[in-house]
Chains A and B, each alone.
Chain A
Amino acid sequence: MAGEAERRLRDRLARLKNVPLLGGTRLDAEAKRLEKQLADLEAQPSDDEIWRSVELARHSERPYTLDYVSRMLDDWVELHGDRGRADDGAMVAGLGSLDGRTVVLVGMQKGRDIQERTKRQFGMPYPEGYRKAMRAMELADRHGFPVVSLVDTPGAYPGVAAEQHGQGGAIAASQSLMARLEVPIVACVIGEGGSGGAIAIALADRVLMQENAIYSVISPEGCAAILWRDAGEARKAAAAFKPDAAHCLELGVVDGIVPEPAGGAQNDWKEAARLLKQSLLDALNDVAGLPGDELVRRRREKFRSMGVFA
């Protein structure tokens, strides 16, 4: 099935071509632009494939952060609390041993059953969660441990208390800290990379994405509700803003795609963890040996070059 986007492009192109009297240069350029977009569309994941990623990224059997922790790390000491106010269940942080070296791992955690989901706030951190991650990353910086960040959140928690405790400021502060850390940072989106809530812990030297993860500025439902005025148009919205790994790689937002077992990570957690561990180690080796100030310089340069404009 041709995507809605493609159909509309074809329509517009057909209409343009049927206006011979107006065939000035501007119209010509427009037609060329549409043709290029069509060619791009055909080479890229279809709307259905994008939606399949959205579904797999949210699959209820998909491994979560702690499932990877227990399969990837030889030792794990979880740390609790932000040292200010609370211990946010939606964010986990701790010290672990990855292939013989000590790392600090931070990541969002979703719940499997209804009790755990409530306790973990569906993986949506409060500001306290980001401050807990920051505390752990500061520890890493002090002692020279690399940071591994696993991103899996629909977004930062959208509640009254979260706002009162400074949600926006906490997300900004976490990024600001990561822009200063003099230790290697590798992040991987392992499920949903939802907006500001995700980027808060994803300002890394290497950013990876699992094959069926999504990374986006807004949820498909949120985008549909605003731009289509109908949350039911989520499929169309996802097709339009392209949150899948292939598009993120193409746009230069992520550095690599981590393969998943056939059919998705939910089918074989052990294999998914093995593949993720391998990619994390490769990425860490990639930046190993660089002095702290050089890491910081390159990390900032990487993010400062993002964007497309004329």
Chain B
Amino acid sequence: MTDTRIDVSIEQKGPPASGEETRKHPNTCPSCGSHYRDDELDAQLGVCPQCGHHFPVGARERIEQLADPATFAEEESGLRSSDPLGFFDLRPYTERLAEAELKTGEGDAIVVGRAHIAGVSCQLAVMDFGFMGGSMGSVVGEKFARACDAAAERGLPLVSVTSSGGARMQEGILSLMQLPKTVCAVEDLHDARCALINVFAHPTTAGVLASFASLGDITVAEPGALISFTGPRVVQQTTREKLPDDFGLAESNLRFGHLDAIVPRSGLRTYLARVLRLFANGG
């Protein structure tokens, strides 16, 4: 026996532990460290009662928070991404899609349908950041566009809640084309004299911010949401600029004139209802 050491190097291979892997439990507040049971957090709409931090919420949960009970009728739920480029990076795109569907229970990163908010009828389009970072590929673009059409046809306002890392790289240039596509859909919606009310949830960045999300008649954000075309890390790395502490946050966006209001989640439903009523009673 010349060498009795056991080779353990294999256990250390792969990317170094990133922030994501070392992050605390999802129910632990990243801002103040308070920890909650699921039911406690649900009862607070996913907002930390100690410090007001807004935890991320999935599309279903968001719809539950906003829509009147049992009024949401989902539409276009059958659309699925195909893999136009046969894309694979470290793993095939199809595998990532299947995994995201298993994880979130959604067919893609947006859920659309018709609902009532405090008795006012509207069309809803809500993004789910849990599905591949809320990225916008062909399906997200198509579902959003169809939501615009449905709203226009029914003469209803469209309420959209965005939460997205941007265009879906795995669909290449076709994902970039979802920007002009959703922009054209909003133009058609506006031509039909229907309102678009957009809520920026954390984070709304890149392709989604640079298309339909920025075209709302009324645009509000949740407190602390990151709203930037280029994310802070990329800005830092490319320009070596010193970033302000509130870079890209909702508060900074409000100060620079890019938002109508910052609305805490507890007041979002009431705020939307007021705005929807004003639109419904005019024109």
Q: Give the interface SS of chain A, mostly helix, strand, loop or mixed.
A: helix
Task: Check: A203 CB closer than 8 A to any chain B CB.
Answer: yes
A53-84 Cβ-contact flags toward B at 8 Å (1 or 0): 00000000000000000000000000000000
Are A228's CB and B90's CB within 8 A?
yes
Which of B142, B170, B175, B241 sits near A160, CB closer than 8 Å?
Answer: B241
With a cutoff of 8 Å between Cβ atoms, the chain B residues found around residue A308 in the complex are 82, 84, 138, 171, 174
Q: How far is the CA of A195 from the CA of B172 in the complex (A)?
A: 10
The reply to whether the CB of A32 lies closer than 8 angstroms to some CB of chain B is: no
Contact segment of B4-12, B123-131, B150-158, B181-189:
B181-189
Given contact pairs A5-B88, A173-B214, A307-B141, A241 touches B169 in the complex (Cβ within 8 A): yes
Which residues 82-100 in B have Cβ within 8 Å of A in the complex? 82, 84-90
B230→A158 contact, CB < 8 A: yes
B239:A158 contact, CB within 8 angstroms: yes
Report B110-141 CB contacts with A as 1/0, cut-off 8 Å.
00000000000000000000000000011101
Whether the Cβ atoms of A158 and B180 lie closer than 8 Å is no
Given contacts A158-B238, A304-B185, contact A168 B228 (CB under 8 A): yes
Inter-chain contact A307/B177, CB cutoff 8 Å: yes
Interface size class of B (residues with CB under 8 A): 35 or more
Q: Does B28 contact A (CB under 8 A)?
A: no
Size category, A interface = 35 or more
> Chain B residue with minimal CB distance to A165?
B256
Q: Top 9 closest A-B pairs, CB basis?
A: A307-B138, A168-B209, A172-B214, A227-B89, A158-B230, A168-B229, A171-B210, A241-B172, A306-B177
Binds B, one of A19-27, A93-101, A216-224: A216-224
B179 close to A175 (CB less than 8 A)? yes
Q: How far is the CA of A68 from the CA of B85 in the complex (A)?
A: 33
Q: Mark B181-207, 1 if CB is under 8 A from A, else 0.
A: 101111110000000000000000111
Chain A residues with CB below 8 A from B90, complex form:
227-228
Given A180-B187, A217-B167, A307-B138, A169–B214 Cβ distance below 8 Å?
Answer: yes
A216 partner, pick from B79, B176, B230, B257, beta carbons under 8 A: B176
Q: Which residue in B80, B176, B187, B229 is a CB contact (below 8 Å) of A300?
A: B187
Q: What total of A-B pairs shows CB separation below 8 Å?
A: 205
Interface check B81, CB cutoff 8 A: yes
With contacts A306-B174, A306-B178, A309-B138 taken as known, whether A172 is within 8 angstroms of B241 at the C-beta atoms is: no
- Kindly identify, within residues 202 to 230 of chain B, every residue whose CB is under 8 Å from any CB belonging to chain A: 205-207, 209-215, 227-230
Interface of chain A residues 146 through 179 with chain B (CB within 8 A): 156, 158-160, 162-169, 171-173, 175-176, 179
CB-CB under 8 A for A200 and B210, given A160-B241, A168-B229, A304-B145: yes
Closest chain B CB from A5 CB (angstroms): 7
A278-310 vs B: 1/0 string, CB under 8 Å?
A: 000000000000000000000110011011111
Q: Are A163 and B145 in contact, with the CB atoms below 8 A?
A: no
Known: A156-B230, A203-B180. 16 other contacts (CB 8 A): A8-B88, A158-B235, A159-B241, A160-B244, A163-B228, A167-B228, A168-B206, A176-B183, A199-B180, A200-B210, A203-B184, A218-B169, A240-B88, A240-B89, A307-B137, A308-B84
A85 to B235 alpha-carbon distance, docked (Å) = 22
Q: Which of A9, A165, A242, A303 is the most central at the interface, judged by chain B CB atoms within 10 Å of its CB?
A: A303
Q: Which B residues are CB-close (under 8 A) to A241?
A: 85, 87, 169-170, 172-173
Contact A303 B82 (CB under 8 A): no
Complex CA distance for A306 and B137, rounded to whole angstroms: 11
Q: Which residues of A contact B142 (CB under 8 A)?
A: 307, 309
Give, as a whole number of angstroms, the nearest-CB distance from B182 to chain A. Answer: 9
B93 — nearest CB in chain A belongs to which residue? Answer: A240
Q: In the docked arrangement, what's the CA distance between A242 and B88, Å?
A: 12
- What chain A residues lie within 8 Å of B283 (beta carbons)? none
User: Which A residues are CB-close (under 8 A) to B206?
Assistant: 168, 196
In the complex, what distance in Å separates the CA atom of A164 from the CA atom of B246?
11
With a cutoff of 8 Å between Cβ atoms, the chain A residues found around residue B243 in the complex are 160
Known: A159-B241, A179-B184. A248 touches B210 (CB 8 A): no
Instruction: Determine how close the nearest CB of chain A comes to the CB of B232; give it in whole angstroms.
Output: 9
- Given the known interface contacts A160-B241, A160-B247, the answer about A251 and B84 at a Cβ–Cβ threshold of 8 Å is yes
Q: Kindly provide the distance from the CB of B197 to the nearest chain A CB, expressed in whole angstroms.
A: 16
Cβ contact within 8 Å between B184 and A300: yes
Identify 12 residue pairs between A and B in the complex whose beta-carbon atoms are under 8 Å apart, listed by A's number: A40-B86, A162-B230, A163-B248, A173-B214, A176-B183, A180-B187, A196-B206, A203-B184, A216-B173, A241-B85, A300-B187, A310-B80
Q: Which of A40, A159, A172, A237 contacts B183 (CB 8 A)?
A: A172
For B170, the chain A residues whose CB sits under 8 A away are 241
Task: Give bound CA distance, A110 to B63, whole Å.
Answer: 46
Task: Please tell me which one of the listed residues A198, A215, A309 contacts residue B79 in the complex, with CB atoms under 8 A apart.
Answer: A309
Q: Are B176 and A195 interface neighbours, CB within 8 A?
A: yes
Contacts A217-B167, A307-B181, A308-B174; is A171 near B229 (CB within 8 Å)?
A: yes
Supposing A240-B87, A303-B177, A307-B141 touch, asked if A175 and B183 sit within 8 A by C-beta, the answer is yes
Which single member of B81, B137, B212 contacts A172 (CB below 8 Å)? B212
- A251 contact from B173, B180, B205, B258, Cβ within 8 A: B173
Which A residues, 23 to 54, have Cβ-Cβ distances below 8 Å to chain B? Answer: 37, 40-41
Is B282 in contact with chain A by the CB < 8 A criterion? no
